[in-house]
Amino acid sequence: MLDGLFKPRGVAVVGASANPYSIGHIVIKNLSAYGYKGPIFPINPKGGHIRSFKAFKSVLDVPDVIDLVNISVKHSLVPAVLEECGKKGIKFAIVHTAGFKEVGEEGIKREREMVELAHSYGMRLFGPNSQGIQNADPEISVYANFTFVPMKPGNISIIAQGGGMGEMLKLHLHNVGLGHRMYCSYGNECDLTMPEILDYYGQDEGTRVIMMQTESFKDPTAFLEVASRITPKIPILAIKAGRTREGSVAVSSHTGTLVDQARMASAMYEKAGVVEFHDTDEMIKAAIAFSTQEPPSGRRIGMITNTGGPGIQAVDEAVGHGLELATWSEKGRAKLADSLYAEASLGNPVDVVATANADHYHAAVETLLTEEGTDMVLVFFVTAPFTDTEAIARRIKEATDASDKPVVVVVETYSEFYGLIDKLRQSDLPVYEFAEDGARALAAMFSYAKLRDREVETPPEIEVDRAGAEEILAGYEGRDTYLPQKDAFAILAAYGIPAPKVQLVSGDDDLDAVAADVGFPCVLKVDSTEVIHKSDEGGVVLGIRDGEALAEAFSDLTERFAGKGATFIVQEQKPAGREIIIGATEAEGLGHLVMFGLGGVFVEVMRDVAFAVAPLSRPEARTLMRGIKGFPILEGVRGEPGADLDAIEDLLLRVSRMVADNPSITELDLNPILVTKDGACAVDIRLKVR
């Protein structure tokens, strides 16, 4: 439990000084200014008073209970401070001080020693190189953080790795008059982890929605587990820094890992039911909607406007984000016709026209909310000098009271009418400035509802020869190498993945025997750890129809790959089918991501691939398959037969099981897999182990 951190009974601030620009001073100012409910203890070797609070020379001198300490002394002094805090029985230490992991080896060592020291006293560390925490719960009101955005109670909790981004999220809530619930920016995450904090947020009754920003995941598995538990009740909205290669470089120099982290993050979000954003503003605006509105139960949006153009922008944006335009029942249409001006347009958007009054707006909103075919409503409203805007705001609100369907309002107005916007916001309606913003916020709510209501199953039990595969893999572990084809295919067999008959050819004298087993037509392939892209390097001969052709191909390849330690295999040639690729790559700290795509140019040029976290459940395998743009090709287009989707699903489950069972596999490519209308067969494999 993190109560000591987010609901401390007393806070000490070590490094507090009279300098009003010092971090310690600002923390005391914030604690005091926002009415922290417990005692505040500045700690300063000089004693005296800081902002009227008596300063103690050491936490050990404080006679009362302290749960939390904020530390901003220079890093060389931190261990001594922690020692005292430990002795005092303090539970949590926020280390603001920088100069740790972010400066390299030496800093990492400092961090490790600091954590050991803290743990020896049963104390947990937050940070270092961190901003701190806040809890705006009026019962607590703790602002143990050195930043500047005013604190006000709200129901949106925020967790951010980067301080600048965390502050940005708070700031824009503040700008629209909203507060937040809990907040933290956790910095280096040396001890207390993001998933632990997230877990705590998830159990907080005052939190209605969570916004999170991450740069990298220290413990993806823990995040996945915690987030999956939270999202059925509380939406999590997430943004991940570094979704482009360049962005990842900016996050860190560990490029390779971090490009994968962006992909891994998306796959985790999908699996855990987290709504992902790429734009900070868009996420904040969605959070504002979640903060007062219930998620919709479907994708059908109804719109009301008093001017044409912005309504069309909202339609384009809504449809572009996967919503559908609602249609009205006969009864609803009649009610609209009765209530609105004759010039009003009764389609979707309903155009109540510029001169519409409060009753018109009320009737339109109420009608749409009672329509069974409408799941959510966007109200657009340009203030016209000839209407009673106050009454319109009030009546819109009244119309929403009887319904749980989400409603957002977009108001086009200028400073003179800002009071109107405040009024709508005070009555718990989300208000935006652009029609597109409102449409995107509702689309985000629908995305959450869709994720929340998705089929969740555990990965199925599949009968496989796990021991057999492990035995083969054991022989390669620690060698960081690709497996020879024969063994790689044997592992496929152990996991019940269909493959052609394969035989090793040790010399040209056994070609006949091998051919007799495999049969014609067959394929001859080179098999060498030095030859990764066999086809590209001329190491595959297809369509061998008889023994003579086989002997000739064998002699060709032997010559071509002389000196490369190559062996050769002969395999059954499978009838042509639709080509797909299933791959898996190691995702550090999480296990593996499974990749799915169509073969050849669809992956290499069109980049049409989808990823998911292994092991897959059946619904996840189905979603993964349908996650590529080219999926209709597998269903069959223009009279061509569809591919065997059940076979593909089965393959995805088996591959994902295989990599989940065997963490030493770092890379797997089944490329191509030939799929016909009744079956699938992996005709080539690359499998690498650590």
Chain positions 101 to 160 lying near its own copies, rule: CB under 8 A, are: 148-150, 160
x/- track of binding to its own copies for residues 256-295 (CB under 8 A)? ----------------------xxxx--------------
Q: Does 433 bind its own copies (CB under 8 A)?
A: yes
Q: Of 211-230, which residues contact its own copies (CB under 8 A)?
A: 213, 215
d(CA 315, CA 299): 13
d(CA 166, CA 38): 25
Q: Of 85-104, which residues contact its own copies (CB under 8 A)?
A: 98
Question: Torsion angle of alpha carbons 11, 17, 22, 27, nearest 10°?
Answer: 20
Under DSSP, the state recorded for 458 is P
Largest CA distance in the chain: 99
* Shortest distance, position 468 Cβ to its own copies, whole Å: 34
Among 221, 339, 370, 413, binds its own copies (CB under 8 A): 413
Q: Does 669 bind its own copies (CB under 8 A)?
A: no
Q: Does 46 bind its own copies (CB under 8 A)?
A: no
Among 48, 89, 232, 309, binds its own copies (CB under 8 A): 309
Alpha-helix runs per DSSP H in 69-162: 78-88, 105-120
* Shortest distance, position 227 Cβ to its own copies, whole Å: 20
* Shortest distance, position 655 Cβ to its own copies, whole Å: 24
Q: Of 361-390, which residues contact its own copies (CB under 8 A)?
A: 382-386
Q: Which is nearer to its own copies, 117 or 410 (CB)?
A: 410
Q: Which is nearer to its own copies, 312 or 516 (CB)?
A: 312
Total residues at interface with its own copies (CB under 8 A): 87
Quick one: 597 exposed, middle or buried, by C-beta within 10 A (0-12, 13-18, 19+)? buried
x/- track of binding to its own copies for residues 325-364 (CB under 8 A)? x-----------------x---xxx---------------
Q: Which is nearer to its own copies, 416 or 455 (CB)?
A: 416
Q: Which is nearer to its own copies, 484 or 630 (CB)?
A: 630
Q: Which is nearer to its own copies, 415 or 458 (CB)?
A: 415
Question: Torsion angle of alpha carbons 197, 198, 201, 203, nearest 10°?
Answer: -100
Distances (CA, A) of 406 to 167, 224, 369: 28, 28, 9
Q: Sort strands 182-185 and 156-160 into parallel, antiparallel or unpaired.
A: parallel
- In the block, residue with structure tokens 């790959």: 561
What are the backbone angles phi and psi of residue 90, rounded to the nearest 5°? -65, 140
Q: Does 422 bind its own copies (CB under 8 A)?
A: no
Work out whether the CA dihedral 416, 417, 421, 427 comes out positive or negative: positive
Query: Residues near 251 by Cβ (< 8 Å), separated by ≥ 6?
Result: 215, 216, 241, 242, 258
Q: Of 235-254, which residues contact its own copies (CB under 8 A)?
A: 239, 241-247, 249-251
Read off the tokens for 137. 């719960």
Q: Which of the stretches 413-421, 449-457, 458-466, 554-562 binds its own copies when contact is defined by CB under 8 A?
A: 413-421
Q: Which of the stretches 429-437, 441-449, 501-509, 518-526 binds its own copies when contact is defined by CB under 8 A?
A: 429-437
Among 204, 294, 412, 661, binds its own copies (CB under 8 A): 412
DSSP track, 4-49: HHHS-S-EEEET--S-TTSHHHHHHHHHHHTT-SS-EEEE-TT-SE
* Shortest distance, position 631 Cβ to its own copies, whole Å: 8
* Shortest distance, position 197 Cβ to its own copies, whole Å: 17
Q: End-to-end distance of the chain based on CA atoms, in angstroms? A: 38
In 10 A of CB 601, how many CB atoms?
9
Query: Residues near 186 by Cβ (< 8 Å), separated by ≥ 6?
Result: 126, 127, 130, 159, 160, 161, 192, 194, 197
Q: Of 570-629, which residues contact its own copies (CB under 8 A)?
A: 600-601, 604-606, 608, 629
Q: Does 414 bind its own copies (CB under 8 A)?
A: yes
- In the block, residue with structure tokens 């559908």: 324
x/- track of binding to its own copies for residues 638-667 (CB under 8 A)? xx----------------------------
Q: Which is nearer to its own copies, 260 or 317 (CB)?
A: 317
d(CA 583, CA 260): 14
Q: Which is nearer to its own copies, 385 or 563 (CB)?
A: 385
Among 18, 65, 171, 391, binds its own copies (CB under 8 A): 171
Among 89, 320, 322, 663, binds its own copies (CB under 8 A): 320
DSSP track, 567-620: EEEEEEPPPP-EEEEEEEEEETTTEEEEEEEESTHHHHTT--EEEEESSPPHHH
Q: Which is nearer to its own copies, 116 or 246 (CB)?
A: 246
Q: Does 76 bind its own copies (CB under 8 A)?
A: no
Q: Which is nearer to its own copies, 163 or 235 (CB)?
A: 163
Q: Does 21 bind its own copies (CB under 8 A)?
A: yes
Q: Are 116 and 79 in contact (CB under 8 A)?
A: no
Q: Does 177 bind its own copies (CB under 8 A)?
A: no
Among 298, 308, 521, 679, binds its own copies (CB under 8 A): 308
Helix (H, G, I), strand (E, B) or coil at 523: strand
Among 174, 466, 501, 690, binds its own copies (CB under 8 A): 174
Q: Does 525 bind its own copies (CB under 8 A)?
A: no
Read off the tokens for 168. 């940005």
Read off the tokens for 330. 């006969």
Q: Which of the stretches 37-45, 220-228, 234-242, 286-294 binds its own copies when contact is defined by CB under 8 A?
A: 234-242
